[in-house]
A and B are shown apart, each in its own frame.
Chain A
Amino acid sequence: MKINKRFSGGLVVTAAVIAAMFATGLPAQAANSSPKGDLVLVRNQDFATFNPDLAQNDSIFIQQQIFEPLFMINPDGKDVKPWLAKSASVSSDKLTWTIKLRTDVKFSDGTPMTSADVKFSLDTATKGDGWGFLNTAIASVTASAPDTVIIKTNAPWAPLLSDLAAFSNSILPANYGGKTADAFFKSPIGTGPFKFDHWTPGKEVKFVANTNYWQPGKPYLNSVTWQYVVDDNTRELMLKSGQADINEFPPSTSIAELKSSGMQVTPFPAAASEYLAFNEKIPALADVHVRRAVSYALDREAIIKVVLAGYGTASNSVLAPNVGFYDPKTPGVQYDLKAAAAELAKSKFKKGLTLEYLATAGSVQDNAMSSILQAALKQIGVTLKIVTQEPKVKRVTQKNMQYQITSTGWTMDISDPDELMTFALSPVEGGTNSFYTGYNNKVVINAVKRGQTTVDPTVRQRNYSIAQTQSAKDAYMAFVYNAPYVYAWSPKITGFFVTPTLQYHMEDVKKG
């Protein structure tokens, strides 16, 4: 059965068919033969690995300049489009997916990409201890023709194309091009717009233009260097002096100064959320009225002003607005001290109580959130004790559920909400006891499961709305804010854009 609806949630969209027709009709064109400009991007995270299975945020977005997936997350973050794939279709029983591949894609060493590379890459990714869980629905991958791959799933699986768009499912040369995995990842080759030049741990990783790139006329840049610079002030000074071209995540306190010195500063919408988690093993926090009271007492606008210099929006749902199936009508609790007092009055703790906020030592965000919440709760008779722990220690405390209230967050890895919804709301299947809160609501769990296995987008929306609405009513976490990704860059740079899932399309960037 040919599918002609949207990709989001696993359905093949009209756009895919159009893209496929468009792509096949295009004559093969060369990549940019004379790329210009050497770009330096400074960031406070050190690159760690080229192995997609081991990658975290420090490495994922850098790897994507070398490796590419079959499908790419759209600029709005809510959908995917064919990338190394040309089209996709699913059988009537929704268990067999046929993926047609582009035939003009080469690895940076000039070797054409075929279905054998795709099968090897997906099989390797599925076996991975790190991100293999994203492929749990995949039963088999078959290379049926050089330009065709058949994927069978264990059950109807709506997020499949979103899963295939994940960095962990990037396409590598079959059998690592005849090398061992270790040797390959020390000097990787891929289909991406850039090819590996060098990596100096603790300092930088540099790529140069891939002249075999499949997108005609791209990339525009001659090289991109990602430098690790811990100090916020130094990154700012490097940008101002011209030693760097893009500064990743400048602190909010420096934004005004950067703007006044002629730098471009842009907040890109992010598919990321900040939460306050409530541990329901604590009797007081097992009471929904106490959770609601605390959530009502959280002045989100004040926090956004202090922490993000105003760049951000109060959150109303477990999903961020840039995630597919986000429901803007979700009744997430917002700041209202009268409502907070009223909720407390309905609880078993009418006369007040003492709660404990576990904050990250040295975190501006936690300092602001805990202090603002402490002052508000005091007005309704709740004493909030603030304790701080070093970040990694705090994480262990959180995982052991030895906290009462603590800050937590999530950044989307894929465009589909399935991964987050399962982690956040399915205590057993997600494996994290609902973000280590102990929240367990069968209505929500069933809705999440139906959202995962139903391919009809209308039915998925209905179920994800149920899950968002019910979890908001239960105030199982306080949804705090959705912050954008803020970048500052030199006026010499054009075409720089970051998707809500933090993809950098450096092939579109020009310098000078």
Chain B
Amino acid sequence: MNFLSYAGKRLLQVIPALFGISVAVFTLVHLIPGDPADVLLGQTATPARTKILHHTLGIDRPILVQYFSFLNHLFHGSLGTSFYDRLSVTSLIAGRLQASAFLLVGGILLSILISLPLAVLAASKEGAVRDQAVRVIPIIGLGMPQVWIGIELILLLGLKVKLFPVSGFGETFLEHVRSVFLPSLSIAIGLSPILIRSLRASMLDILDADFVLTARSKGLSRARVTISHVLRNAIIASVTVLGVNIAYLIGSTVIVERVFAIPGTGSLMIDAIGRRDYPIVQGVTLFFAVAVVVVNLITDLIHAALDPRVSLG
């Protein structure tokens, strides 16, 4: 089975999953106590005005009717209209995607840039001081709350050194890159320890393999053996670990988004829950679900590309 047919099959499998997710999300969001009309009407929300607004928003209809209306919109490529700012949910998600993508890609790139050399350094001599240091120091990053890491980075690199803006996303590509550096670093500080540990352990396993011994006996340099033979094989397991963590990050960058005032999809979701903005909650959840499935699919494909033993089927 080639990549395309494998990817197509995997995407078809997603359809029932998305249907299940849509039912679950729709039901759960309507089960949350609280009234969107209250948010919109504020302190002057009398029962009479609340009733009128329920009708305007269409939330006075039976729940099944509302669900089929949601599905109908979905089949027509629409995720509905936000209760809060009356804008299309699709356009709101699209407007936030760029910031989230920058943040996610920045976080992943920095995680890789931090993890690869440190894992290689640690695995190059098991038990040495450098190995112990690489194993211990990143763990500190894992144990620190992201809010705290973010604020400390802002204080140091934003406020004192003034290398980066303390918050926001900027307007141009370069400003985006500069703006997401600190938040991406916050993510990387949390993600790198996991990658380092995984990569280091895989490399140590592979260093004992026969083919590594063969490569060394052929007189290949230590660096070439490490990069061409050890790292390439060790990275396969880490790709899976990274994939799982990216899927997790898609819905969990909200804390970093909030601290750095990055207008991403995580903040959109949290605000929508607080406002009981059902169309946005439903739309963003579905989007996250699709994104997680796609990331898992890409992870599998990369895994297969790196490891010929893995078959697509």
Residues of chain A at the chain B interface (Cβ within 8 Å) = 46-49, 51, 54, 56-57, 129-131, 133, 182, 200-203, 227-231, 233-234, 237-238, 240-241, 243, 390-393, 395-396, 399, 409-411, 413, 419, 423, 430-432
Residue contacts A-B, CB under 8 angstroms, 17 given = A51-B86, A54-B86, A129-B52, A130-B41, A130-B49, A201-B87, A201-B92, A202-B96, A202-B268, A230-B258, A234-B154, A234-B258, A241-B166, A243-B165, A243-B167, A396-B38, A431-B48
In order of increasing CB-CB distance, the 7 nearest A-B pairs are A392-B34, A431-B46, A203-B263, A202-B263, A393-B33, A229-B261, A56-B42
Nearest CB of chain B from residue A394's CB, rounded to whole Å: 9
Nearest CB of chain B from residue A27's CB, rounded to whole Å: 41
Nearest CB of chain A from residue B34's CB, rounded to whole Å: 3
B165 surroundings in chain A (CB, below 8 A): 241, 243
A227 and B261 within 8 A (CB): yes
B96 and A238 within 8 A (CB): no
A423 and B44 within 8 A (CB): yes
B158 and A241 within 8 A (CB): yes
B41 surroundings in chain A (CB, below 8 A): 56, 130
Choose one: A243, A395, A413; the contact of B168 (CB below 8 Å): A243
A237 and B159 within 8 A (CB): yes
Counting chain A CB atoms within 10 Å of each CB, the highest count among B44, B45, B162 belongs to B44
Nearest CB of chain B from residue A306's CB, rounded to whole Å: 24
Choose one: A48, A57, A395; the contact of B34 (CB below 8 Å): A395
B268 surroundings in chain A (CB, below 8 A): 202
B35 interface residue (CB < 8 Å to A)? yes
CA distance A224 to B44 in the complex (A): 29
CA distance A231 to B254 in the complex (A): 12
CA distance A434 to B47 in the complex (A): 13
A395 and B166 within 8 A (CB): no
Q: When A133-B49, A234-B167 are in contact, do A390 and B261 touch as well, CB less than 8 Å? A: no
CA distance A325 to B70 in the complex (A): 50
CA distance A46 to B272 in the complex (A): 11
B95 surroundings in chain A (CB, below 8 A): 200-202
A48 surroundings in chain B (CB, below 8 A): 84-85
B256-277 Cβ-contact flags toward A at 8 Å (1 or 0): 0011110100011001001010
A390 surroundings in chain B (CB, below 8 A): 33-34
Q: In the complex, what residue of chain B is closest to A46 when comparing beta carbons? A: B271
Choose one: B38, B85, B86; the contact of A395 (CB below 8 Å): B38
CA distance A390 to B39 in the complex (A): 13
Interface residues of B in 81-101 (CB under 8 A from A): 84-87, 92, 95-96
B261 surroundings in chain A (CB, below 8 A): 227-231, 234, 238
Q: When A393-B33, A431-B46 are in contact, do A129 and B169 touch as well, CB less than 8 Å? A: no
Nearest CB of chain A from residue B168's CB, rounded to whole Å: 7
Nearest CB of chain B from residue A41's CB, rounded to whole Å: 13
Nearest CB of chain B from residue A159's CB, rounded to whole Å: 15
A237 and B263 within 8 A (CB): no
A133 surroundings in chain B (CB, below 8 A): 44, 49
A392 and B155 within 8 A (CB): no
B167 surroundings in chain A (CB, below 8 A): 229, 234, 237-238, 243
B92 and A395 within 8 A (CB): no
Choose one: A54, A200, A202; the contact of B271 (CB below 8 Å): A202
Counting chain B CB atoms within 10 Å of each CB, the highest count among A47, A392, A395, A430 belongs to A392
B155 surroundings in chain A (CB, below 8 A): 237
* Additional pairs, 7, CB under 8 Å, beyond known A46-B271, A51-B86, A393-B33: A49-B86, A130-B49, A237-B154, A392-B39, A396-B34, A396-B35, A411-B43
B151 interface residue (CB < 8 Å to A)? yes
B260 surroundings in chain A (CB, below 8 A): 234
B139 interface residue (CB < 8 Å to A)? no
A392 and B42 within 8 A (CB): no
B87 surroundings in chain A (CB, below 8 A): 201
B5 interface residue (CB < 8 Å to A)? no
Q: When A228-B261, A234-B259 are in contact, do A399 and B38 touch as well, CB less than 8 Å? A: yes
B33 surroundings in chain A (CB, below 8 A): 390, 392-393, 396
B201 interface residue (CB < 8 Å to A)? no
B13 surroundings in chain A (CB, below 8 A): none
Nearest CB of chain B from residue A129's CB, rounded to whole Å: 5
A432 surroundings in chain B (CB, below 8 A): 46-47
Q: In the complex, what residue of chain B is closest to A229 when comparing beta carbons? A: B261
B29 surroundings in chain A (CB, below 8 A): none
B72 interface residue (CB < 8 Å to A)? no
Counting chain A CB atoms within 10 Å of each CB, the highest count among B35, B165, B167, B267 belongs to B167
Nearest CB of chain A from residue B164's CB, rounded to whole Å: 10
B271 surroundings in chain A (CB, below 8 A): 46, 202
Nearest CB of chain B from residue A414's CB, rounded to whole Å: 11
Choose one: A49, A234, A409; the contact of B85 (CB below 8 Å): A49
B142 surroundings in chain A (CB, below 8 A): none
CA distance A229 to B271 in the complex (A): 12
CA distance A56 to B165 in the complex (A): 31
B56 interface residue (CB < 8 Å to A)? yes
B267 surroundings in chain A (CB, below 8 A): 202, 230
B53 interface residue (CB < 8 Å to A)? yes
Q: In the complex, what residue of chain B is closest to A56 when comparing beta carbons? A: B42
Q: When A200-B95, A202-B268, A392-B276 are in contact, do A234 and B38 touch as well, CB less than 8 Å? A: no
B151 surroundings in chain A (CB, below 8 A): 233, 237
Q: When A49-B85, A243-B167 are in contact, do A200 and B263 touch as well, CB less than 8 Å? A: yes
Nearest CB of chain A from residue B156's CB, rounded to whole Å: 11
Nearest CB of chain B from residue A40's CB, rounded to whole Å: 9
CA distance A409 to B151 in the complex (A): 33
Q: In the complex, what residue of chain B is closest to A51 when comparing beta carbons? A: B86
B40 interface residue (CB < 8 Å to A)? yes
Q: In the complex, what residue of chain A is closest to B155 when comparing beta carbons? A: A237
Choose one: A57, A231, A396, A410; the contact of B258 (CB below 8 Å): A231
Q: In the complex, what residue of chain B is closest to A423 when comparing beta carbons? A: B44
Nearest CB of chain B from residue A455's CB, rounded to whole Å: 24
A54 and B40 within 8 A (CB): yes
CA distance A238 to B260 in the complex (A): 10
B169 surroundings in chain A (CB, below 8 A): 203
Nearest CB of chain B from residue A148's CB, rounded to whole Å: 31
B56 surroundings in chain A (CB, below 8 A): 129
B166 and A237 within 8 A (CB): yes
B92 surroundings in chain A (CB, below 8 A): 201-202
Q: In the complex, what residue of chain B is closest to A230 when comparing beta carbons? A: B258
Interface residues of B in 1-52 (CB under 8 A from A): 33-35, 38-49, 52
Nearest CB of chain B from residue A48's CB, rounded to whole Å: 5
B154 surroundings in chain A (CB, below 8 A): 234, 237
Counting chain A CB atoms within 10 Å of each CB, the highest count among B48, B258, B261 belongs to B261
